[in-house]
Amino acid sequence: MAVASCRYKLVMASVQNAQMTISDAPTFERRGLGWHASSSSRPFDCKTVGIERLFRVHIFFWRSSKYFKMKKNYRFLIGLLQMDKCSLESAKMLILDNMVDASLDLQSRHDVQTCTSWRAPIIWEGMFDPHHYDQKHKEEGSSVALTVFAVGSYMEVYLETFLKSSEHYFMLGLPVSYYVFTDTPEKVPNIELGPQRRLKVIKVEKYTRWQDISMMRMKIISDTIESDIRHRCTHVFCFDVDQVFTWRFGPEALGDSVALLHSYYYRLPKKLFTYDRNPKSKAYMETGDFYYHAAVFGGTWKSVKALTDACYKGIMEDKENNVEALWHDESHLNKYFWLHKPSRILSPEYCWDTIIGYRRDIKVFRLIWAPKHYITLRTS
């Protein structure tokens, strides 16, 4: 791939109270298995820095620091990388979650990958008839539990907007049961719910570290499926609260086991995925199929319970060995989906970060990331 400019520098918005210019941006050097910030004043020059290294720098900064922002050039370049293509001629060749999947048009999107090597569909706008899916799941009596955690300041900042937007776009026409897990039940906003929609508030402990909140949700979801959800709903979807529904998120997303392509990784080569590389962790992976985002996952209640049980087991075994996976529950989720292939994958339309900017392959934003306030929220 041709590089548009021979000089790529990181642009820093701010580091605490100090403003930094482009000339202050760090360079990187190879140490062991990874790239690390260098104290050298060598220029960030494409003569010595290949395109793969540029992407490594992009991932390092995006995942490691809340202060650094990449220039739009990088996001544009990543958008030019090619995805694999679906080799199936017809959706009838898929391993079907349900018969309506046979109506998917796998050849309607030549710009993206529409199926996996294990014959599961990857759902993109333009592949499906929404009315067909709505009608079929109504006939089958599908019902959905939505779980979301709003602990500490996340309650006041995000929950009301999340729930209100869900009422406009999430699984309309199907029975939906919201399960809100919070340490302050008295602060849950009073949301007007539509027909066949209910909300249950469950009090949970507020942990000191946000990482512990993130990881412990696996056990809490599993326990709630066992005690309540399995008696009420056919499917479960688990969401992070700092998101907003902006378009249809309908029954086309329902399946036995549902994973989501991470918006920052879906066009990157596999060797740049940030799997846990520590052999001591139960989340350890040498390679994988895709990089999945833990902000959204779902499936039938049986499949979600199996996933959350397995992730929780891995988390606790790591804890006993004084190990913590690189990206916490997301690392364990990726390991689970590597060993137990999802029967359905959602495209990044189903959880998009608008900071990425324009991508020709993203036709709609169904769910978007809300503005992140990690500095304050994760310390309050």
Report helix angle 329-339 to 301-320, nearest 10: 120
Tell me the CA distances in angstroms from 225 to 60, 215, 337, one per residue in order: 36, 17, 20
Lowest mean pLDDT among 57-66, 90-99, 111-120: 57-66
DSSP string, 299-366: EEHHHHHHHHHHHHHHHHHHHHTT---TTTHHHHHHHHHHHS--SEEE-GGGSB-GGG---TT----S
Question: Which residues sit opposite 122 in a β-bridge?
Answer: 345
Residue 378 has pLDDT above 50, yes or no: yes
pTM value is 0.81
Strand blocks (E) in the chain: 11-12, 27-31, 34-38, 68-69, 122-123, 144-149, 176-182, 197-203, 235-239, 243-245, 257-260, 296-300, 344-346, 367-369
23 or 266, greater pLDDT = 266
Q: Which of 125, 252, 324, 330 is catalytic?
A: 330
Residue 265 has pLDDT above 50, yes or no: yes
* Predicted pLDDT of residue 46: 38
Q: Is the Cα dihedral 97, 333, 289, 261 positive or negative?
A: positive
Mean pLDDT value across the chain:
84
* Predicted pLDDT of residue 259: 98
Cα 278 from Cα 284, distance rounded (Å): 6
Active site residue 317: no
- Tally of CB atoms within 10 A around 47: 9
Strand blocks (E) in 163-260: 176-182, 197-203, 235-239, 243-245, 257-260
pLDDT tier at 335, thresholds 50, 70, 90: very high
Q: Which amino acid is at 114?
A: T
Tell me the CA distances in angstroms from 27 to 35, 60, 62, 231, one per residue in order: 10, 12, 15, 56
In tens, the pLDDT along 77-113 reads 788 888 999 999 999 999 999 999 999 999 999 999 9
**Mean pLDDT for the stretch of residues 204-217:** 76
Cα 8 from Cα 39, distance rounded (Å): 17
